Amino acid sequence: MAGGGTGDPGGGAGDPGGGAEDPGGGALDAAAAERLLATMWRIRAFEERLEPLKRSSMVHGLTHLSIGQEAVAAGVCTQLRDDEPVYSNHRANGHALAKGVDMGKLLAELMGRADGCCRGLGGSMHVVDVAHGFLGATGVVGGNLPFAVGSALASRLLGRARPAVVFFGDGAAQTGIFAETVNLASLWQVPVVFVCENNGFAEFTPRSAHTRVERVSDLAAPFCVAARTVDGNDVVEVHGAFADALSQARAGSGPYLLECLTHRLSGHYVGDPGGYRAALEDEAWRARDPIARLVRQAAAAGWFDAEHARAAEAAARDEVEAAVAFALGSPFPDPSIPAELTYARS
């Protein structure tokens, strides 16, 4: 094996295939639709519970919510194997849950507890779960975009066809590192899928104040990168578009940029006064709630009925309460651990 193991979610030595069952992709069937619904409800229920936990200081630090954006995380991550890595950004809860991070360990992390997936050292912006190929997030916008190129490059060098995925927001497209990364991925034809969650806001600033480029996908063509923009609040559309991108990447193609137009229904972080949100048309977006839409689509397609949808919500809320109990039962970490973790031991 080349290099440090934690950068290679293909897992430990002797397990070059990663061992995970291929969760599929391609056209949506009832089972896949049910998985998308369950995933979106798990994210929604988790974050709805997180907000009061944060406001009552049970959750210690900075917390960004993705309520309203669940379709992107679900549509993308549920199709990936454990050895196909995902890099996230500061709004990471949904990506983490959809990629398979244990809900109890995620909440324990957000409460700064010893049983958190990073022993409480990382927090919400820096969740890492190597076993599930969730390679963390960055608190610096765009900071990990090239990591995905490196992961995909390494996978090719190792003789595998394991694409890497990186989520980023529309704000990150204005950083220099974005242009550098997309160009390099194109130049070397690395199998990476750049998934842009375009929610129209970079932190507190609307897109119109950031750029004259209407779509992030417009930035791909000058670098000879294929791209597509989809309705990011339609999980069926996200799933289908990402399935296409993923199958090409697994077949060894170069980079792809998938832009998902969406909207966060809460502030930049919990506690954000949100004065800038007056003109955001939240109500119009609520009508495009990705969960409610999937329930309607499922009824029309015969995937599942309303009763199943209610059961999925109830199951998600039960799982959240179990996660709360687990996290509250976990101790705080030994404060002296920074000494052992500042450097890797060679």
Partner 1 sequence: MSHVIPYIAAIQEAIREEMERDERVLYFGQNMATSPEDPFLKQFGPDRVRVTPISETAEIGMATGAAVAGYRPVVELYMAEFLLVATDQVVNEGTRFHFMSKGAVSVPMVMVAGYGFTAGWAGQHTGSIYGMFMGVPGLKVALPSTPADAKGLMTTAIRDDNPVLFFQNYLLLLEEGEVPDGEHAVPFGVADVKRSGSDLTLVATGYAVHTALGAAESLARRGVSVEVIDPRTIAPLDVDTILSSVARTGHLVLVDQATRHSSVAAVIAAEVAELGFSSLEAPISMVTALDSSIAYSKPVEEFVLPDEHKVVRAVEASLGLAPASS
Reduced 3-state DSSP string for 54-87: HHCCCCCCCCCCCCCCHHHHHHHHCCCCCCCCEE
Question: Collapsing DSSP states into helix, strand and coil, what is residue 124?
Answer: helix
Number of residues lying near partner 1 (CB under 8 A) = 47
Q: What is the footprint of partner 1 within residues 233-262 (CB under 8 A)?
A: none
Both ends of the chain: CA-CA distance in Å? 15
Residue 156, CA distances (Å) to 149, 152, 163, 164, 260 in order: 11, 6, 9, 11, 27
The answer to the question of residue 171 lying near partner 1 (CB under 8 A) is yes
The residue (of 60 and 317) whose beta carbon lies closer to partner 1 is 60
Is the CA virtual torsion 52, 58, 62, 65 positive or negative?
A: negative
The residue (of 342 and 346) whose beta carbon lies closer to partner 1 is 342
**In the set 335, 344, 345, 346, which binds partner 1 (CB under 8 A)?**
335
In the chain, the amino acid numbered 229 is T
The residue (of 38 and 173) whose beta carbon lies closer to partner 1 is 173
Contact segment (CB under 8 A) with partner 1 among 13-21, 190-198, 232-240, 336-344 equals 336-344
Task: Mention every residue, 6+ apart, whose C-beta is less than 8 A from residue 159.
Answer: none
The answer to the question of residue 56 lying near partner 1 (CB under 8 A) is no
The rounded distance, in Å, linking the Cα atoms of 316 and 294 is: 16
The rounded distance, in Å, linking the Cα atoms of 7 and 145 is: 15
User: In angstroms, what is the minimal distance from the CB of 186 to partner 1?
Assistant: 21
User: In angstroms, what is the minimal distance from the CB of 268 to partner 1?
Assistant: 9
Radius of gyration of the chain (CA): 19
Residue 214, CA distances (Å) to 28, 180, 210, 218, 234 in order: 30, 20, 10, 7, 20
Contact segment (CB under 8 A) with partner 1 among 9-17, 171-179, 290-298, 313-321 equals 171-179
The answer to the question of residue 89 lying near partner 1 (CB under 8 A) is no
Site string for partner 1, 109-148 (x = CB under 8 A): x--xx--x-xxxxxxxxx-----------xxxxxx-----
Is the CA virtual torsion 8, 14, 16, 20 positive or negative?
A: negative
User: In angstroms, what is the minimal distance from the CB of 210 to partner 1?
Assistant: 4
User: In angstroms, what is the minimal distance from the CB of 58 to partner 1?
Assistant: 11
Residue 33, CA distances (Å) to 38, 173, 331, 346 in order: 9, 31, 38, 45
The rounded distance, in Å, linking the Cα atoms of 176 and 254 is: 21
**In the set 51, 60, 288, 299, which binds partner 1 (CB under 8 A)?**
60
**In the set 27, 209, 300, 344, which binds partner 1 (CB under 8 A)?**
209
The residue (of 263 and 277) whose beta carbon lies closer to partner 1 is 277
Is the CA virtual torsion 207, 208, 210, 212 positive or negative?
A: positive
The answer to the question of residue 275 lying near partner 1 (CB under 8 A) is yes
**In the set 188, 223, 276, 326, which binds partner 1 (CB under 8 A)?**
276
User: In angstroms, what is the minimal distance from the CB of 1 to partner 1?
Assistant: 27
The residue (of 14 and 176) whose beta carbon lies closer to partner 1 is 176
User: In angstroms, what is the minimal distance from the CB of 229 to partner 1?
Assistant: 20
The rounded distance, in Å, linking the Cα atoms of 147 and 139 is: 14
Binding site for partner 1 (CB under 8 A): 60-62, 109, 112-113, 116, 118-126, 138-143, 171-172, 174-177, 202-206, 209-211, 275-276, 332-333, 335-339, 341-342
